[in-house]
């Protein structure tokens, strides 16, 4: 009898230990609807469930809100989500009612989405991660938020980010903000989630939403997507409105989708595109934008593709080199002709000019954004923000605000200095950069490793980048897509596919075929180290 009791005791202890240190699949019962707790639902799977009645939007939203509480707020405590939307469940009920009446808004109907917290929402604060804007409620939604809501998407909440989109000061730690703390990488918790859209990518990887929206100026969609083992699309600047998004650079800023598959990201991208009279850049997208990017994924192989492989990253990380060589061979198996590209897209002069442009545009953009908040804005200009940070212990605990201070010293965007730098940056990055290389070699796209495996988060010394390939497309304002290409140990690494202005369809075609052929992505394990 004692042996039986002892055995049962050991079994219970082992069971409790396992359930405390892992995330087993379980059924979450909501009424008569069963949600598989750890299942990574795709947009198509959710739509199928809504259609046949095995799922309701309310049950799905309830599931994700519970999962955010279990994994992000407790469990591993990822700090990927700053706030959840108090209206999410009531909105879900309304959208269920619409379905019951035969009103279907399209493939994003009832899809849970998280927004990076530099994207305006009228019903939640928009903070850029800064305590200076902790209680800042914009007067209206950003243009893309209106489009998402109109398409039936459920805004679950706001994702953590690198404060001020990682353009505040030197030695910053990606994923840290005064409001949200440090976002963790769900694959290995002491590793960094990379880039300013860190919370968006970590949330998608951890299945806290189906799709998230990030923003990029240089690497802030593609880097966190690759570090967290998911897909990220950085569109051509002008394809998606930036109206209602806290800015850095008029010439480089864009929003874009982050998802677990090319298909889901492509579906979301179609909702985001379109002309916006309040963002003059979107006028350029007329005739180049689509509301259905799935239709552009149509190749059965890459037999007609000439793809450049940029060798400039070779030799910087031996593990990444191995994965890159395998990815190149996979592209060849799909029929692509691979041409090695060793030409330099950018140089120090182009980088300097682009940086000066960003500083000028940052000052202009931030001051205009603060003015858009109206008379109740807690911060009225860049100088007030700098002064606030100097007085706040949390904001200045880990790193400085040199970029804010440098921007504050800049002249206006009509100054001779600005016009000189913008002309040089555009000439170098476009005409003498991607376009020149692709034209000379007759390329359809260029591939390169997105970056190195995630480094250990270090608040004393900041980020440690070994390599990155985001700058050519970022400074040019051209599109780039990252998709998983393998793992170094437990850490994911991505491959970037970039090309000419408005070439999203071609890039999606390549990325989709590569993703389906290789199936690299796997769920995170929330390892301690």
Positions annotated as catalytic residues are 116, 196, 220
Q: How far apart are CA 38 and CA 63, in angstroms?
A: 10
**Order of strands, sheet of 480-488, starting from the edge strand that comes earlier in the sequence:** 81-84, 154-159, 112-116, 211-216, 254-259, 231-234, 480-488, 491-498, 445-449, 306-310, 337-341
Q: Are strands 181-182 and 211-216 parallel, antiparallel or unpaired?
A: unpaired
DSSP assignment of 110-133, as one string?
T-EEEEETTB--SSS---TT-GGG
Alpha helix (H) residue ranges in 301-393: 318-333, 348-372, 382-391
SS (H, E, C) 421-487: HHHHHHHHHHHHHHHHHHHHHCCCEEEEECECCCCECCCCCCCCCCCECCHHHHHHCCCEEEEEEEE
Contact criterion met (CB below 8 Å) for 232 and 270: no
The CA distance from 250 to 279, in Å, is 10
Asked if residue 129 lies in contact with residue 162, where contact means CB atoms within 8 angstroms, the answer is: yes
Closest CA to 353 of 440, 430, 428, 243: 428
DSSP for 153-177, written as a single string:
-EEEEEE--SHHHH-S-TT--TTEE
């Amino acid at each position: 009898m004692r042996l039986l009791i002892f055995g049962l005791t050991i079994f219970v202890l082992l069971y409790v230990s396992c359930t405390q240190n892992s995330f087993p699949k379980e059924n979450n019962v909501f009424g008569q609807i069963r949600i598989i707790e750890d299942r990574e639902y795709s947009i198509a799977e959710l739509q199928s469930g809504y259609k046949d009645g095995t799922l309701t939007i309310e049950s799905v939203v309830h599931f994700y809100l519970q999962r955010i509480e279990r994994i992000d707020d407790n469990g591993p405590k990822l700090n990927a989500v700053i706030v959840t939307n108090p209206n999410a469940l009531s909105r879900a009920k309304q959208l269920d009612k619409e379905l019951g009446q035969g009103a279907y808004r399209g493939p994003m109907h009832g899809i849970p989405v998280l927004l990076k917290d530099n994207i305006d929402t009228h019903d939640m604060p928009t903070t850029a991660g800064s305590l200076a804007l902790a209680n800042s409620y914009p007067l209206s939604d950003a243009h893309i938020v209106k489009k998402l809501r109109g398409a039936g998407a459920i805004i679950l909440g706001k994702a953590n980010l690198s404060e001020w989109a990682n353009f505040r000061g030197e030695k910053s730690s990606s994923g840290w903000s005064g409001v949200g703390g440090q976002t963790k990488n769900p694959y290995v918790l002491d590793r960094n989630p990379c880039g300013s859209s860190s919370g968006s990518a970590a949330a998608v990887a951890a299945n806290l939403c189906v799709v998230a929206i990030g923003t990029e100026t240089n690497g802030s969609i593609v880097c966190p997507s690759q570090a967290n083992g998911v897909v990220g699309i950085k569109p051509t600047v002008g394809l998606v409105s930036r109206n209602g998004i806290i800015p850095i650079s008029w010439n480089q800023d864009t929003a874009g989708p982050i998802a677990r598959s090319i298909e889901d990201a492509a579906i979301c991208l179609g909702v985001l595109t379109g002309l916006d009279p309040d963002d003059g850049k979107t006028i350029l997208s007329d005739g180049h934008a689509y509301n259905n990017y799935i239709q552009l994924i149509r190749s059965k192989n890459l037999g007609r593709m000439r793809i450049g492989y940029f060798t400039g990253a070779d030799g910087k990380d031996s593990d990444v080199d191995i994965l890159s060589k395998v990815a190149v061979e996979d592209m060849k198996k799909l029929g692509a002709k691979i041409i090695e590209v060793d030409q330099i897209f950018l140089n120090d002069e182009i980088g300097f000019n682009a940086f000066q442009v960003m500083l000028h545009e940052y000052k202009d953009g931030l001051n205009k954004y603060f003015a858009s908040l109206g008379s109740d804005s807690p911060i009225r200009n860049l100088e007030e923000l700098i002064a606030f940070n100097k007085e706040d212990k949390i904001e200045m605990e880990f790193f400085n605000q040199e970029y804010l201070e440098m921007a504050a010293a800049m002249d206006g965007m009509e100054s001779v200095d600005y016009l000189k730098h913008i002309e040089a940056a555009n000439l170098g990055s476009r005409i003498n950069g991607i376009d020149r290389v692709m034209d000379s070699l007759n390329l359809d796209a260029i591939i390169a490793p997105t970056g190195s495996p995630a480094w250990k988060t270090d608040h004393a010394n900041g980020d440690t980048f070994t390599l990155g390939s985001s700058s050519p497309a970022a400074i040019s304002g051209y599109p780039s897509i990252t998709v998983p290409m393998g793992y170094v140990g437990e850490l994911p690494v991505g491959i970037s596919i970039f090309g000419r202005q408005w070439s999203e369809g071609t890039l999606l075609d390549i990325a989709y075929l590569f993703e389906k052929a290789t199936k690299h992505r796997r769920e995170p394990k929330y390892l301690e180290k």
